[in-house]
Structures are given as C-alpha cells and as structure tokens.
Amino acid sequence: MIFTEAGGDDKPPGKGKRNGQGMPITYDAVKALSADLYDWSLRAVPADTKDGLRRALETETQDGARKVLRMMLGSAQKAEEEDRFVCSDAGVPVYHVTIGSAARLDGDIKAAISDGFDELVARIKPPLLKHVTNPLTNERGYKGRDMPLVTWDVAGGADWVEILCQPKALGSGRWAALETFSFPTLAEIEAYVMKVVMQAGSQHCPPVIIGVGIGGSFDVAARIASKATMRRVGSVNDEPVLAAMEARLLQAMNATGVGPRAAMEERLLRAVNATGFGPMGTGGDTTALAVHVDYASGHGYTPVAVCFNCWINRRTRARLHADGSVERFE
C-alpha cells in the first residue's frame, strides 16, 4: 500500500471521488489497515492533544500539576522515540468505519476488521493484555461477542473507505453516563454534565476530552457523544449555541480542581478540594482539555450522554482510496 500524510483538519478534504482508477478496496487492504491503526494508536498521543497539554502547561499555576503535565508530555515523547506503548491499558478495539457510496468493495469488509485485530494480537510487541471481557462471566481474552466494536456510516458519492480507530480503556470508559429528560433547558443539560463530571472525579485520568450528545434517541445520543470526542482539541463548534455551551462547561469543568488546573467558584473549590482530588490526584487548573457538544433533533424526550477520553486521547484515522493508496490523517 502507498501511504500519504494528510492535514489534521476535523473534516478531511475530498468528500467525493479522488482521481483513481476505480479499483476495488479489498479485504486484505482493510485487514492490514485495521491492524496498523490500532498499533499506531497505542504508541503516540495525537498532535492536537499534545498541543493542548503544552498550552495547559503554559498556564498552570500549581507546581504539582505542572510536574504531572511535564511527565505526560515526556511519556508521549518517549513512546514515539522508543516505539513503545504510551499506556499499558490498550483498551478494547473500537472502530468507526465510513464507506463511500461509490466505493467498490472486494471481500467481507466486516470480517476484515475483525481479522485485522486478530492479526495484531498475534504479532504486536509487547503483547496486548487480555482486556476483552464477557460481562456475564467476567472471563477475559482477546475475542468476544461483537468484538471489535464497530460503527458504520456512509459518505455520499465518495469512492473511499475511512477507518477511525479509538480504543477504549477502563479509566475513561467506566464513567460515561446517559440520562433522559423531558424538554430540558440548557441550564439543566449543563447541570447534568457537571454531575457526571463530579461523579468521575479524577478517576478517568485527566485532563480529559469530554463528549456530550444531546437529543435523538437513547442510542443516537450515545453515538453523538462518542463522535464528539473525535473532534480535534482546540477546534471551535460551528453551532453558536453549542460553542457557548462548550465554553461554559469547559470553564466549569476546570473550576472543579480535579485535574491538572484550579480556578474554581469558591463553593465548588472547597467541596472538591475536600475530596482530595487532583491531576491524577494532585489538584490543578486543567481537568479537561476540551468539551465537545453536538445534538440531534428528537421527540421532546431528550437523552443527554456524556463520555470521556483520557489524556492520551487515542485516535488514529486513515482512508483507503480506489487507486490503492492509503491517506493517513492522524
């Protein structure tokens, strides 16, 4: 396969066709890319996330929190230099696949993703820990029902297949939550998000990226929240109401003093500091690097989903094109 590097935009260029020869996208190509994306995600922190950590370090006021942020940036650098995992918790395999409506497929693409993960398990060094868990028996291994976890979408007119890999680990995955309201106000939605934030404390390995999904149905809201965490750190929501909400939530989140940053409303500062939370337990000014919110229209009963990515913010994405090339975005 031919690899090219693309820019780091949230919405990659070329939603339609690329100048290619209309070759089919094969089982083997999808299998190989699925394995590579997972491997890459374990050995690097995305560039936008490292930039967010650097900005936090520049503004951090507490010595302990600055030390933690420097350790995080140092760990990210060492992992890249020495080709090793940033964290030993490699999570479980989660893929988001978008198939162009004009793409020609050759082979079982769903099986290719599963087989790609199996191939990775067999060859990766160091070996992955057994994180795939049967929720009924708590048995652990590398295989399980509906593993890997895959969501599917379609891009109209495109002739490529895009795969985004976002392994989910225990620290951030454990604290996701959803509640359904009836015609809630923005204030009620934001209060619920902060309730979830306070329940998580510092156990999701802050500073985190927070995804919030509003509306639709139960399953749609959760998917919107998950997709929101994929946005680049530092990007601005193009919906003015949501952009303002994100700014308010980020300010409130960082006011809790739970993660690496602390400037808190006096009442929350006293309450949270009394718990002994801190950046990875040390207190500080940055509990969240970003709060990303999106929504879907619904009936009036309004589910609100909240999920987290830990400070590593694992995320790799690439496209398989009809000319046989692979375009890597992150």
Residues 230-272 pLDDT 10s: 999 988 778 777 777 767 777 666 665 544 322 222 322 233 2
Q: If you average pLDDT over residues 191-207, what whole number do you get?
A: 87
| Residue appearing with tokens 């995600």 | 41
| Phi, psi torsion values for 321, nearest 5 degrees | -100, 165
Strand-pair partners of 132: 141
Contact 249, 190 (CB under 8 A): yes
Average pLDDT of the chain, as a whole number? 84
Residue type, 246: E
Instruction: Calculate the CA 256 to chain-centre distance.
Output: 22
Q: How many C-beta atoms lie closer than 10 Å to residue 263's C-beta? A: 14
Residue 251: HSE in the Cβ half-sphere, 13 Å Cα cutoff? 7
Strand partners, 212: 293, 306
Pairing of strands 161-165, 94-100: antiparallel
pLDDT of residue 262: 25
- In order of 24, 95, 301, 328, the CA distances from 152 in angstroms are 19, 9, 25, 19
Backbone angles phi, psi at 286, to 5 degrees: -125, 100
The confidence score (pLDDT) of residue 86 equals 94
pLDDT of residue 17: 59
- For the ranges 80-84, 99-103, 111-115, 264-268, the lowest mean pLDDT is seen at 264-268
Mean pLDDT of 298-308: 93
Cis peptide before 207 (omega within 30 of 0): yes
β 208-215/288-296 pair status = parallel
The string over 67-99, giving b where at least 16 C-beta atoms fall within 10 Å of a residue's C-beta and e elsewhere, is bbbeebbebbeebeeeeebbbebbbbbbbbbbb
Residue 267 parent element (H or E): helix 266-273
pLDDT of residue 8: 53
Q: Which residues pair with 182 in a beta bridge?
A: 301
pTM (predicted TM-score): 0.85
Q: Which residue has the tokens 């590593």?
A: 312
Taking 80 as the threshold, does the pLDDT of residue 289 lie above it?
yes
Which pLDDT belongs to residue 277?
A: 42
First to last CA, the chain: 17
pLDDT above 70 for 133 = yes
Q: What is the mean pLDDT of residues 42-69?
A: 91
